[in-house]
Homo-oligomer: A and B are copies of this chain.
């Protein structure tokens, strides 16, 4: 089965950094939010903005586990990568890493997203087109629930 890692390079901006001159850690989550958008649009072929604004389906985060192993500095070129860990009826678990240009991992995150109705904020099933696109190309551990 084919490898399934989605990657985007990103230059660290002045606006990403704090008075210590390194990435202010909440900014990693802003970057990764953009990576998930790109994964939907460019890899899954699902229009993420239409999902949110027209179909009114959200994908809020319900669980994060993050290790910060090395700092990123202003102007560093980093690579953000995404792999699927698990897909259930209502949730998507992703591994999101940030690596430096020498390949060293700076940030490693396991993130659980759930599909929700943006009317009620209650969990809903992952839409069929999203599920189909993920299952087609993104092998993971089998769904358990």
Residue ranges of A at the interface with B (Cβ–Cβ < 8 Å) = 13-15, 17-22, 24-27, 29-30, 33-34, 37, 47-50, 52-53, 58, 60-69, 71, 73-75, 118, 121
Question: How many monomers of this chain does the complex have?
Answer: 4
Indicate if the CB atoms of B30 and A19 lie closer than 8 Å. no
Interface centre among A18, A24, A33 (most CB of B within 10 A): A18
Indicate if the CB atoms of B63 and A37 lie closer than 8 Å. no
- With A and B bound together, what is the CA distance between A68 and B58 in angstroms? 14
Indicate if the CB atoms of B67 and A62 lie closer than 8 Å. yes
Report which of B15, B48, B49, B62 forms a contact with A18, defined as CB distance below 8 A.
B15
- With A and B bound together, what is the CA distance between A92 and B26 in angstroms? 19
